[in-house]
Structure 1
Amino acid sequence: MLALNDTPTGRTPEAEDLEAKRARVATLNARYRHHSATAVLTGALKDPEAGRIAMVSSFGAESVALLHLVAMVDRKTPVLFIDTRLLFAETLAYQQEVAERLHLTDLRIIRADEAMLKQHDPYGALKLSDQDRCCDLRKTQPLEQALEGFDGWITGRKRYQSKTRAEMDFFELEEATGRIKVNPLAHWGPDDVRAYMEENRLPKHPLVAQGYPSIGCAPCTSKVAPGEDPRAGRWRGQDKVECGIHFGADGKPVRSTS
């Protein structure tokens, strides 16, 4: 006799659902493996296998390329922008400029709950004492809430950016959340992004010309010297390479190379 939480296969409904999602991701990767970024995006936004998808954008140094691609496919795509309240003023101004230029019709500004900030970071000093907790409070938790109701989300991550991203596919399953993550630009390099922006005359983030090739929150982003890795200015001096909104194979947020 089956227990209430069992299925005829002997697995729980949650395990069977996760297995079905793994199969969906495998199907999507097989279907779009040799396709362009535009085709991958079109599939993500219109293929029933993908489900309901939002885009998450930092409006950083390279974000405008993917935002432009999304706008060309469907400018009604929900675009989630996390305002940590610690961003550069230039990023906030750039976000408004790009959204207006691309006619994004469903831009959603995501912020941490004021009560949570007052409870866990009343003096705004968490960024100095515990950067992981600061990221969790101001980025990871608000994004998780904003993504409720979506089956997946589009990211601008690329393989060349870090060791933690070196082997990612166009479609990934976040087993911790059950959502599909779409990486249309996974195979693009810096020259591809640069060429696309120039060909389409897209505006550049003003901080790039000042020596910031990768841009996050102001307290945790510094200029990068010639010859340094483009992400060397993110959390400089710390064993930290990600903010924690992406999950690793172990189901835990990715924050460091270890």
Structure 2
Amino acid sequence: MPSLDVPLFDNPDTTAALSRRFAAMEPQAFLRLVIETLFPGRIALVSSFGAESAVLLHLAAKIDPALPVLFIDTDLLFPETLAYRDTLVELLGLKDVRVIKPEPAQRAAEDPENFLWASNADRCCEIRKVLPLANALEPFDAWITGRKRFQAATRAALSFFEQEEGTSRIKVNPLAGWTAQDLAAYLKKWDLPAHPLVAKGYPSIGCIPCTSPVRPGEDARAGRWRDKGKVECGIHIKKLEPSPDA
């Protein structure tokens, strides 16, 4: 294991320094370092149980199947995603999957007909994903994401460690450098099931109203919020502040 003589996350340059130091580590060893040494008992994995989620969940389950896994159920997800979640939880023996939901009163007040996505997609994501996740992350000092650089131009410079906007919490991206080919090879090696919508042209899967199949030549996230001038839900581009009513 590499020496941990770099001061941990106590200045703006630390995340970049740690990213450089551990970039060459084998993914399983890197993830073990993060879970057991850097943030023991203080880190969660956030998973959409989407197209590529089985890889990161499998890596983490081999280290600690009781690692908290936060799953945001927006109430607008594909039934295939919910079924896939249940399949992976059982297959991988995940012991602490926490289902995060929108706050009922807020949803009833702002989106009683479940149609806010059509008039204000940003606010829909805010009340269904960003605020619920912010509340769920309050007990943790760090969280693990499954983002990769190849997924979109907005993620091309993704590093292994990031400081969350406006907070001291750290985001860890252990698969940042993985390619689509790396993911496919891992799924095949471990005989992991694919999300059922992948075969139907959905390489990135979110909520039903805002997810469409991807055309040949488009990047993997081109089918998310198509024609809405939006490329991220918000959990990775703004400060995650918990609701005062939570």
Structure 1 contact 51–151 (Cα < 8 Å) conserved:
no
Structure 2 counterpart of 1:55? 45
Pairing 1:196–2:182 present: no
Q: Contact (CA 8 Å) 1:171, 1:181: kept in 2 or not? A: yes
Q: Give distance in 2, aligned partners of 1:181 and 1:105.
A: 22
Q: Does 1:113 align with 2:103?
A: yes
Query: Could you tell me which residue of structure 2 aligns to residue 32 of structure 1?
Result: 22
SS at match of 1:47: helix
Contact 1:28 1:49 in 2 (8 A): no
1:36 and 1:238 map into 2 onto residues whose CA distance is 38
Q: 1:202 to 1:49 in 2, by over 3 A?
A: closer
The answer for the alignment partner of 2:170 in structure 1 is: 180
Q: In the alignment, what sits opposite 2:10?
A: 20
Distance 2:37 2:62 in 1: 17
* TM-score normalised over the length of structure 1: 0.85
Give, in whole Å, the separation in 1 of the partners of 2:126 and 2:194: 28
Distance change (3 Å), C-alpha of 1:20 and 1:195: same
Structure 2: state its 5+ residue gaps: 1-7, 242-246
* Residue 167 of structure 1, CA deviation: 1.2
- Please name the residue that 2:152 is paired with: 162
CA distance in 2, matches of 1:61, 1:175: 26
Of structures 1 and 2, the larger Rg is shown by 1
Q: Secondary structure at the match of 2:34?
A: helix
179, 203, 222: which one pairs with 1:213?
A: 203
Q: Percent identity?
A: 55
Q: Aligned partners of 1:152, 1:252: CA distance in 2, in Å? A: 12
Shift in Å, 1:161: 1.1
More divergent stretch after superposition (225-234 vs 61-70): 225-234
Find runs of 4+ consecutive structure 1 residues off by over 3 angstroms. 21-24, 48-51
One-letter code aligned to 1:89: P
Compute the displacement of 1:222 (Å). 0.7
User: What's the CA shift string for 1:51-76, capped at 9, x where partnerless?
Assistant: 71100000000010000000011111
Specify the code of the residue in structure 2 equivalent to 1:105: K
Deviation track 1:19-63 (CA, whole Å, cap 9, x = no partner) reads 725365345324412112212211110123677110000000001
Could you say which residue in structure 1 is the equivalent of 2:80? 90
Q: Alignment partner for residue 119 of structure 2, among 129, 136, 142?
A: 129
Aligned length: 234
CA distance in 2: counterparts of 1:242 and 1:56, whole angstroms: 15
Q: TM-score, normalised by structure 2?
A: 0.89
Q: Does 1:78 align with 2:68?
A: yes
Match of 1:205, SS? Answer: coil
Unaligned runs of 5+ in 1: 1-17, 254-258
Alpha-carbon distance in structure 2 between the residues aligned to 1:183 and 1:237: 28
Secondary structure of residue in 2 paired with 1:231: coil
Mapped partners of 1:51, 1:139: distance in 2 = 24
Equivalent position SS for 1:20: coil
Q: Per-residue CA shift, 1:218-247, capped at 9, x if unaligned? A: 000011223332211111112111100003
Match of residue 5 from structure 2: none
CA–CA distance in structure 2, aligned partners of residues 210 and 222 of structure 1: 10
Q: Is the 8 A contact 1:82 1:139 kept in 2?
A: yes
**Cα gap change, 1:235/1:126 in structure 2, threshold over 3 Å: closer, same or farther?**
same
